Amino acid sequence: MFARPTPLLLGLGLLVPVAASAEQPPEALVAAMDIDPSMIVAGSVSTVSTQEPTEVSSPTMFDVRTALGVISPYNAPTAALLSTGNVNNIELLQDHDYPGNGFDTSSGDRATLHFQLEVPEYANSYSFNFYFLSREYPEWVGNIYNDQFEVFVNNSAYTGQIVFDAFGNEVSVNNALFSVTNPSMLVGTGFDQDGGTGWVTTIAPVDGGTTLDVAFEVYDLSDGVWDSAVLIDNFQFSSQEPPTDGPWTGDDTPDVPIEIGFLSPKEGDLGGDYGVTIHGAGFDETTSVQIGATGVSATVANSGEALVIDPDDFPSADTPGTVDVVVSKGDQTIILENGFTYHDGAAGSVPPRVLNVLPSEAHPSGGTEIDVRGEGIVDGASIVFLDAEGNEVPEADSVVFNDLGDGNAQLIFNAPSLDEGWHELLVENPDGLRTNPGYPFLVTDGAAAPDNNGGGTVRRGCSTAGSASGLAGLFVLGLALMRRREV
């Protein structure tokens, strides 16, 4: 049954070196996992089991390590070590049941590290890395009584045990993650003839601004003869959403695919110096961005749904025209062809840009006073309307131009008589350049008709019904514009 060579030949009177006592207090283990001490709830760190029976783990079951044989911490210089045996004897095949060795080999040995953390407001997930090793391999593969490693958490985002393989198996020698069995990869660990998982990543959801209760536990399920251990390291919070609805464990951080929605703005002057945001999903610190032939720095924002390019980093161009925008992460690359357009502002080739229209709906009879604000609008600009099919309809007349400074301008005009339905409002400068795409504008009976009895045009608000229809219609028009016009 015990086919492997025994490291302690006490019966022959041979002297075997024994490691000096190295057990550490639980606070030292939490620090070795890279947890900021300011996040720890005062008085919450303990080695008391969260499961029945709620016993106190022996201090000889814990240690802080800079290495375990050939295994280095995931995030140097230290990692926490939990063992079902005596950490002072771990490299000597742990506390194998050698008669008279003085080590406790009772069944049901359990090492627990329990603490609570104040979750940062920005956090949507947390992660850590672990390396589980067991002397149950290979003799007891398939046995239901193998040692196990579990992590129990309690938080409003998720409560329960969070470390499983892809098949829902808890971490033991029966787990699909248990794949390191080459002795050359385990030299000096005390598991040279056994096996482990390698460094594994666990990610789980969390609610920012709450308290996270965590208990790491490794335990004997039956006897205390064959022991197991686990290294834990690199515990951190992140603004990234977890890759799945619940906890995830794998041999590396999952490759969450990136998605690209749109750029804002997507056009600018040759001189660059534009703050541009790329909207999408799946972005992280490894995501790279290229504008034309130039690589640029981008900051991840909005929980991985935006990449923000600082104006100082946005490149200039020599000639007007379009360039591709390339976004890459890992082996995935998305190319937005003609994603950004450069204009020569010095030559007056920058099209106007509409930022706001008040009100953004009018009665079919026309006459409602409309206030348009935007950038790059010059004196002599006109207002053009397009119907839902893209056909031009009557232009607005009596357009008044007001220079607001800093490149901003205002146009005030009376809405022409238009058919009911959604239209696009465009500003066209005297050089023929127009806004693209246009601003959604609703013509509806729900809008108040202008009061012409008082001798002039007045600005009207919208009825409740008109506003509700406007919100719904705006979404419909947006889809129509996306189908009709390339973004």
* Same-domain pairing of 233 and 118: yes
* Same-domain pairing of 267 and 246: no
Does any domain span residue 4?
no
Task: Give one DSSP letter per residue of 465-486, joined into a string.
Answer: HHHHHHHHHHHHHHHHHHHHS-
**Residue pLDDT, tens place only, 120-144:** 999 999 999 999 998 877 666 656 5
| pLDDT for position 173 | 61
Of the candidate ranges 2-6, 59-63, 66-70, 275-279, the one whose mean pLDDT is the lowest: 2-6
Task: Give one DSSP letter per residue of 12-77, joined into a string.
Answer: GT-----PPP----HHHHHHHTT--GGGBPTT--B-B-SSSS-PBPPGGGEEEES-BTTBPPSSTT
Burial (CB count <10 Å: 0-12, 13-18, 19+), residue 364: middle
CATH number of the domain bearing residue 362 = 2.60.40.10
Residue the block writes with tokens 């450069």:
342
Average model confidence (pLDDT) for the chain?
80
Amino acid at 11: G
* Same-domain pairing of 272 and 416: no
* Same-domain pairing of 316 and 298: yes
Of 48, 227, 29, the residue nearest 128 (C-alpha): 29
CB atoms within 10 A of CB 366: 17
- Percent of the chain topping pLDDT 90: 38
* Same-domain pairing of 234 and 271: no
* Same-domain pairing of 355 and 409: yes
**Residue pLDDT, tens place only, 212-229:** 999 999 887 655 567 889
Asked if residues 98 and 92 have their Cβ atoms less than 8 Å apart, the reply is no
Among 250, 279, 304, identify where a domain stops.
250
Instruction: Print the domain residue range for 434.
Output: 351-484
| pLDDT for position 296 | 93
* Same-domain pairing of 389 and 357: yes
Does any domain span residue 377?
yes
Among 229, 250, 271, identify where a domain stops.
250
* Same-domain pairing of 411 and 466: yes
* Same-domain pairing of 307 and 244: no
Burial (CB count <10 Å: 0-12, 13-18, 19+), residue 163: buried
Does any domain span residue 355?
yes
Does any domain span residue 22?
yes
**Residue pLDDT, tens place only, 352-391:** 888 899 999 999 999 999 999 998 898 999 999 998 888 9
N-to-C CA span, the chain? 70
Does any domain span residue 77?
yes
Structural domain count of the chain:
3
Does any domain span residue 1?
no
Confidence of residue 145 (pLDDT cuts 50, 70, 90): low
Does any domain span residue 63?
yes
Among 310, 328, 345, identify where a domain stops.
345
C-alpha 304/C-alpha 241 separation (Å) is 8
Confidence of residue 19 (pLDDT cuts 50, 70, 90): very low
* Same-domain pairing of 171 and 215: yes
Rounded-to-10 torsion of CA 122, 123, 124, 127? 160
| pLDDT for position 255 | 64
**Residue pLDDT, tens place only, 181-195:** 888 899 999 898 888
* Same-domain pairing of 156 and 207: yes
| Radius of gyration for the alpha carbons in the chain, expressed in angstroms and rounded | 33
Q: Please state the pTM of the whole predicted model.
A: 0.51
C-alpha 479/C-alpha 170 separation (Å) is 46
- Residue 69 pLDDT exceeds 60: yes
| pLDDT for position 351 | 82
- Residue 98 pLDDT exceeds 50: no
Does any domain span residue 5?
no
* Same-domain pairing of 52 and 133: yes
